[in-house]
Amino acid sequence: MSLAAKCDGFEYDVARLIREFDVCALLELLTEEGYLQENIFFRSNFSTVSEISLCEAIKFSSVDLPREETEVTLTLNLGLYSAVSLLPEFFYRRMQDESDLGILLRRFLAFFDHHLIKFMLAMGMPERSPSVLPCWDETQRSYIKLLGVGSTSTLTQLFDLTFPELHVEVVKNPKAFMTQESSIILGRVALGYDALLGKNIVHAVQNIDVTLTLYKGDYEASIPWPREITDRMEDLIYPHLRHANLFLSIVLVIIGDNSQLYLGKWSQIGYARLGQSDAPHKIMVHRGGIPPPKETTGS
């Protein structure tokens, strides 16, 4: 019985469509299907011309073993044997030789070829390679700090990635807040940075106005958009902004929403209108500083 006949649908389809795969997506797929990373071996396709695809072939060692024990050999148009190799032509001529020396040379270089491709792919996928970057989340936060989270361009990109369904507009709008303090008392307060004359002091705060525009009413029938925005902010945006002294005003503008509050299974009390209006529906989602992370309680 042929290998193709013995293979299940997944292995046969992957082998048949291997040239159409992106290598990163293929590795993610193999991991999701139960193949272990340590059982995936890489080799380069021996070729002297450039190929149209990165993935050339894939071979599964056995279809009778469980997937976590199956070895997978992935042939790529990349590495020491490929057309873009840095090996001198002398090695190519030797490897084309079918003598014992040529066979031994191919086996010797195959060891380095595997690790070379493996580490190159790891550099291209740092989020799934702890050996390259032990903490990918912290690295991402460091990259964002380099851009400056107080910049409107950085915040616009951050909100655009978090809310691809919405139109995002970010504008700086500095605020001044006045607080009442006790006046200095002679003989008790030292004149300096913390002392002030009078009872009022003005604090300048870097305020950012974020407008999220929605052209249709609901994200899902059971999830109001303001709650969805708050959840995404907590998971994806607030962790990057907590070290910055920012004051955020986030407004959701719903255009074309003529619905009004009703009592029912999917009613959105607290977010829906009390009456009909053709004007855009504006909802203040957040106003204030960056909230602290939510405490997780064990069950």
Number of residues that this document lists for the chain: 299
Supply the range of the domain harboring residue 94: 3-128
pLDDT digits (tens, 9 = 90+) for 187-216: 665 565 555 556 666 667 778 899 999 876
Residue 108 lies in a domain: yes
Residue 134 lies in a domain: no
For residues 42 and 114, is the Cβ–Cβ distance under 8 A?
yes
- Phi/psi region, residue 21 (left: phi>0; alpha: psi -120 to 50; beta: rest), is beta
**What is the per-residue pLDDT for 168?**
94
DSSP code per residue over 193-250: SS--SSSEEEEEE-EEEEEEEESSS-SBTTB-HHHHHHHHIIIIIHHHHTTS--EEEE
**What is the per-residue pLDDT for 5?**
42
**What is the per-residue pLDDT for 4?**
44
Local mean pLDDT, 10-residue blocks, the chain (299 residues): 53 90 89 89 84 88 83 89 77 74 82 89 79 77 78 90 92 75 59 59 78 71 78 89 85 73 50 64 86 68
SS3 11: helix
**What is the per-residue pLDDT for 58?**
92
**What is the per-residue pLDDT for 6?**
46
The residue written with tokens 């957040």 in the block is 286
Indicate the average pLDDT of the chain. Answer: 78
**What is the per-residue pLDDT for 194?**
56
Residue 23 lies in a domain: yes
Examine the domain organization and report whether 163 and 268 are in the same domain.
Answer: yes
- Structurally, the chain folds into a number of domains equal to 2
Residue 135 lies in a domain: no
pLDDT digits (tens, 9 = 90+) for 141-183: 777 778 778 888 889 999 999 999 899 999 988 777 666 666 5
